[in-house]
Amino acid sequence: MLPGREVLTMADWKKILIAVDESPLSERVADYVGRVVSGHEGVDICLLQVYPEPPPYFYQEGHNLKEFQQEKESTAQKVFQRLLPVLEGYGFAPETIQTSCHMADGVSLSKEILVIREQGDFGTVVLGRRGISKAEEFLFGSISTAILRESHNFTVWVVS
């Protein structure tokens, strides 16, 4: 340690949170994680799908929140069923892979991912970077940019 510098404690990199969605990019992300960390002992993985709150017109059309959440959970389960074999193909035992689906209730998707990362003490967050233009990123932001901006004491892998 250098004099005058505080020691930062990093969360355990082997606790890996992978943010996924329905896109084919999620399979590439899972494949990348599998290739990079297969063979390491003590790796725990959580596949996480975070979705936004329903749009205001959703309720005006007579739908309810529970119905919306069930639909999103069903979609997430299909994504998980696609990705679990990818990770298991790299030798990860099913008991070392968790799945989780959350609604970003009153916060951005990136903030919800960060909250879950902190609650689970994940040392590595892995996400895909969609091909958005610089103008779109400037106007709307991107989840990966927001996560990178807020990353303290943990590692972020952005897979393209």
DSSP letter at 96?
G
In a domain, 4, yes or no: no
Residue type at position 71: E
Q: What are phi and psi of 86, to 5 degrees?
A: -60, -50
Note down the domain range covering 123. Answer: 15-159
Residue 3 domain-assigned (yes or no): no
- What pLDDT score was predicted for residue 140? 46
- How much is the pLDDT for 9? 64
In a domain, 6, yes or no: no
pLDDT at position 4: 63
CATH number at residue 117: 3.40.50.620
Distances 85 to 48, 89, 113, 114, 137 between C-alpha atoms, Å: 16, 6, 23, 26, 32
What's the predicted TM-score (pTM) here? 0.88
Q: Exposed, middle or buried by CB within 10 Å (0-12, 13-18, 19+), for 127? A: buried
**Residue 129 falls within a domain, yes or no?**
yes
Q: What is the phi/psi pair of residue 133, to 5°?
A: -75, 165
* Domains held by the chain: number: 1
Is residue 113 situated within a structural domain?
yes
Q: In whole angstroms, what is the distance from residue 39 CA to residue 90 CA?
A: 8
pLDDT recorded at residue 17: 99
Pair 21, 80: CB distance under 8 Å: no
Cβ neighbours of 70 (radius 10 Å): 11
Beta strand pairing status for 15-19 and 44-52? parallel
- Provide the phi-psi class of 116: left if phi over 0, else alpha when psi is between -120 and 50, else beta: alpha
- Output the tens digit of pLDDT for each of the chain's 160 residues: 556 666 556 679 999 999 999 999 999 999 999 999 999 999 999 999 999 999 988 888 889 999 999 999 999 999 999 999 999 999 999 999 999 999 999 999 999 999 999 999 999 999 998 755 555 444 445 888 889 898 889 999 999 8
75 belongs to a structural domain: yes
Strand order from edge to edge, sheet including 97-104: 97-104, 44-52, 15-19, 124-128, 155-159
Let me know if residue 98 belongs to a domain: yes
Examine residue 27 and state whether it is found in any structural domain, yes or no: yes
Looking at residue 136, what is its pLDDT?
45
